[in-house]
Amino acid sequence: MHTVNIHEAKTQLSRLVERAAKGEPFVIAKAGKPMVKVVPIDHPTAGQVRRVGFLNGQISVPDDFDRMGGDEIEKLFGMKE
């Protein structure tokens, strides 16, 4: 993530805001210490990010998924001849 000091943020605020609005968040630092993070308004916060179930309804898992390829795996590892 891009970090800018306060002086740079003041002089280039319009450009930095445009970049953030397009999905490039940045951090404003004072004397090298990060102070604030600028992100787009519609950017999800850490608690809002939802990954589980994002393909819900788009794929299906066969009922025998846990047993698929079992015979081949047993042969490969010498468990079955």
- Domains of the chain in start order, with CATH, are 2-76 (3.40.1620.10)
pLDDT at residue 19 is higher than 80: yes
Q: What is the pTM of this model?
A: 0.52
**3-class SS at 57?**
coil
Sequence-ordered list of residues with C-beta below 8 angstroms from that of 4, at least 6 positions apart, any chain? 12, 16, 26, 27, 28, 29
Instruction: pLDDT band for 49, please (50, 70, 90 cuts).
Output: low
pLDDT at residue 13 is higher than 90: yes
